[in-house]
Structure 1
C-alpha cells in the first residue's frame, strides 16, 4: 500500500513522494484496533428533513393486507395517477421513450441544465404570443422531477445566512415545508379560505411580507385543495408581490387540470410582470411520475433574477443533469401527445370528483369542498372526530381506507382524498367511509392499532392536536 506524502518548506516549493508501510509505525496498528467508534452525529440539515406524507404511507406499508373481515386496503392517499392502472399513459409518450432507447443516442451524460432539444421543447410549450409570453431555451433548466425543481428554486432564492423567510400556503403541499426546513429558512404561512374555494387571503399575504421575505410560493391548481385560481385572482397576488418587490415561485405541475368552465393561465403570462420561477414537469399531465423529469422556467423582469439564474445553473451541476433518455424523448412527448387524450384524462377525473363529492354529501358529519381541478379534495371531518389524525388512523384500522390527515397539510380537522382511482374503488371507499362515520357518530367504536406516533414529524395524535 502506498500513501501520497507532501513534503517541503512551503506550498510553493512542495514536492511529493509515496510513503510505504515501512515508513509507518506498525505498533500504532494495535492501538487503532482497540479504539471503538462513538456514535457518529449526522448533519443537522439531514435530521430536520422529514417528508410527512411518505412517513404516514410507508408506516402503513407493512399493514397492506386483508383484515379479519376480508377487506382489502383502498388507498386514497398518494397523488400517483398510476396507482390503479385505470389511467393509461398515451401511446405517443411510450413510443417516444422507446425510440429514444433504441436510437442508442441517449445513454450518456446530458448537459447539467438539460439537452438543448429538450429545453427548446419546453420553451415552445410555454410560449404564447397571444398572451405576450415568450420563453427562450436559456430560461429553462431540466430537473429530476418537479420536486427537484422546487428544491433548487428555494435553495437559490432563500438564504438562511441572511435570516430570510419564505411564504407558503396553508393548507399546502408538505414538501414545501420539508424543503424549507432542510434549507434552514424561516417559514411563514398565508391562509387559504375554504369559504371562497380556497382562494388566497390577500390581506394576510400582504401583512406577512417584510424586508426579509425572499419568495412567495403559489400553487395553482392546488394540491391538496383542488382549487383553481382565476386570472383575476392571480393578478391580485402578482400585484402584491410586485409592490413588495418579492419574486414568486409558481408550482404549476397541475396546470391544465381544470374542470368544465374553468381555466387558469401560467403565472408568467399575467399582465402584471413580476419575477417568477415556474416549476412543472411531465409527471401529472402525462401520467408518468416515475419517469422523473421536471423543469423550472425563469420569467424574469428587468433582469432582476440574473444572479439567481447563475445560482440555479450551478445547483444543476449537483446531479449532473436528469434522465437523458426521457430528455431525449421530451420533444416528441410535448409535440405528439394530443389534446383529446389529455381531455379524456381530465374528463375521467372530473366525473370521479363529482361522483365522490355527491356521495360524501350523504355521509353524516363530514363536509367536502367541491374540487375545481387537480385530483384532490379536502373533507372537513370535525363533526365525526375533531382530531384528523385519529380519524385517519381509525379509517384504516376499521375500514382499511388510507386517507391523509389534514394536519399534514396545515389544516387540522380535514382529510385529503385522492379521486383518481377507478369508479368501483371509489364507490366501495365511499360505502366504507359512510359506515365508519355512522358507527363513530352513534358511538359504536372499535379498537385501533395503527399509531401515528411512529411518524417522527407528526408525533402522537394527542400532541399534534393540542
Structure 2
C-alpha cells in the first residue's frame, strides 16, 4: 500500500468554527446514546419551531418548473429588482441590478468578497467578539484579521478611535456586524457615521453584515450602513435565513454602493467569481420578492406577545436573579452573550466549562472563545427556544456554576 501523505492545508491551522466544532460533535455522541439535550448553541430558527411565512414556500412551489436550468451568475433579475426597490424604501439609493449579487447564503458571499479583495498579508479590521466565519474567510483568503474590541463594559459597542489606531498601510477593509452576533448589540447612527468618516479618511472598504437587520427589540432602531456611506465603497450583506427563518433555503444577497469608478474593479472580480460557481440556488431566489413584501412580519415575534420577545424577557429575568452571571441586554439579533461576574473563578476556562455543562447538565451552548474572544468569561445563548426552555437552561447553568464556585473555594482560600 503506498504511503499517502494527505495532510490538510496549513492555512486551516488557525481556522475555527466552534459553533459546529468539538462540543457539537460530543453532543451528537450523547444523543446517539439516548441523552436528551437542550441545544441552545446555534441560530437555526426552524429547529425551534419558527418557520418561514407560508408565502415563501408557495412562491418557490409556483416557480419550481422554472428552476431546472442554470441562471444568471448575479441572480434572478426579478429578485435583484425587488432588492433594489427594498433598498430604496430604506434610504439606500443609486443601486442597480449590476451591483446586486445573490449567493448561496451570506456565508458564500463573504468568502467571495474577501477572495476578490485580498492579497496575501492584507489586513481586515474585525470586531472582537466576531462571527467566526469572518475570521476564517479572512485567513483562508490570505488576509490577516486585526481585531477591534467591543467589550461588555461599553455595551459591546466599538470605539472609532481605537479602530483608527489599528490601521496600517496594509489595512484594506472594516467589517461591521450590526445587529451583532454574538452580543445582540445595535450600533447607533452617530457611531456608524463616525465609522464611515474613518473609512473615507483611510480609503477602506466597508463590509456590513446585516443579516439580522429587522430583528430589533424595544426602542432599538436599525440604520443600514449604506444609507449613510455615500460615495464610500460599501458592501452590505443580507439574506432570508434569519429575518424570514429560512436558513435551509441558502439565499443571501450582497449590495455594492458607493463611487462607481472605485467599485468597478471589485464588482468585476465578484462577477468572475460568481460565474465560476455558475449560479446560486435558483429555487430559493423566487422567495425573495415575496419575502421583502413581508419585511415587517418579524415584529410579530419581537414585540410584546411574540416568541422572541418572551424568551428574551425570560433570559433577562433569569440573569437578574443569577448569583453568577450578568448580561448586556440584547437589543437586536437572536442571541445573548452573558458573562461570569468579575471576581468569580479567576482563570475561568469557558471551553472546559461548556464541556462540563454538556456532560453533566446536558446543555449545549457556545463559549465566548469560539468568537475569537481571548480570556473569555462569556457564553453565547440563542433566544430562539420557548421561554420555558430558556428558564430551564438558566437553572442548569446556575447549578453548574454553583458547583464550580464551590469546588474552587478551598483552592482560593489556601492561596
The TM-score with structure 1 as length reference comes to 0.81
Give 1:72's aligned residue: 36
Shift of 1:170: 0.3
The structure number with the bigger radius of gyration is 1
Instruction: Work out whether 1:265 is the aligned partner of 2:231.
Output: no
The C-alpha deviation readout for 1:45-76, integer Å capped at 9, x for no partner, is: 45654433221343224334398xx9721011
Task: Please report the RMSD computed on the Cα atoms of aligned residues, expressed in angstroms.
Answer: 2.2
Q: 2:390 corresponds to which residue? A: 426
Rounded to whole Å, the distance in 2 between the matches of 1:421 and 1:123 is 34
Find 1:208's aligned residue among 166, 175, 194: 166
Partner of 2:365: 403
Query: Is contact 1:247–1:276 with CA below 8 Å preserved after alignment?
Result: yes
Residue 36 (1) aligns with residue 23 (2): no
Q: In structure 1, what is the Cα distance between the partners aligned to 2:229 and 2:125?
A: 22
Question: What is the rounded CA distance, in whole Å, between the counterparts of 2:251 and 2:68 in structure 1?
Answer: 16
Aligned 1:229-244 pairs, distance under 5 A: 229-244=187-202
Higher relative contact order (CA 8 A, sep 6+): 2
For 1:58-97, list aligned pairs within 5 A. 58-65=24-31, 72-85=36-49, 87-97=50-60
Offset, 1:158:
1.7
The C-alpha deviation readout for 1:223-270, integer Å capped at 9, x for no partner, is 001001111111111111111111111001010111111111110001
Contact 1:364 1:437 in 2 (8 A): no
Matched-pair contact (CA < 8 Å) for 1:239–1:272? no
Contact 2:207/2:235 (CA < 8 Å) preserved in 1? yes
* CA–CA separation in structure 1 for the residues paired with 2:372 and 2:77: 40
Partner of 1:344: 300
Q: Is the 8 A contact 1:378 1:416 kept in 2?
A: yes
Q: In 2 relative to 1, CA 418–187 (structure 1 residues): closer, same or farther, beyond 3 Å? A: same
SS at match of 1:295: strand
SS of the residue corresponding to residue 216 of structure 1 reads strand
Aligned equivalent of 1:141, options 101, 112, 122: 101
- Contact 2:77–2:97 at 8 Å: present in 1 too? yes
Q: Matches of residues 349-360 of structure 1 in structure 2 within 5 Å?
A: 349-360=308-319
Following the alignment from structure 1 to structure 2, what is the Cα–Cα distance between the partners of residues 325 and 436? 45
The equivalent of 2:412 in structure 1 is none
Question: For the residues of structure 1 that align with 2:359 and 2:6, how far apart are their CA atoms?
Answer: 38
Write the mapping of 1:152-301 to structure 2, written as runs, cut at 5 A. 152-160=112-120, 163-270=121-228, 273-301=231-259
Q: Which one is further off, 213-222 or 114-123?
A: 114-123
**Partner Cα separation in structure 2 for residue 408 and residue 56 of structure 1:** 11
Task: Tell me how far apart the structure 1 counterparts of residues 108 and 372 of structure 2 sit (CA, whole Å).
Answer: 22
Local SS of the residue matching 1:250: strand
Cα distance in 2 for residues equivalent to 1:171 and 1:397: 26
TM-score between both structures, scaled by the size of structure 2: 0.91
Change (3 A) 1:303 1:61: same
Aligned length: 401
Q: Matched residues in 2 for 1:218 and 1:321: separation?
A: 27
What CA distance in whole angstroms lies between the structure 1 residues aligned with 2:92 and 2:287? Answer: 28
Name 1:121's counterpart in structure 2. 82
Shift of 1:40: 3.7
Q: Is the 8 A contact 2:80 2:101 kept in 1?
A: yes
Instruction: State how far apart, in whole Å, the 2-side matches of 1:134 and 1:355 are.
Output: 43
**Structure 2, gaps ≥5 residues long:** 410-415
Task: Quote the residue 2:281 is aligned against.
Answer: 323
Separation in 2 of the partners of 1:271 and 1:179?
24
Q: CA–CA distance in 1 between the matches of 2:406 and 2:324?
A: 11
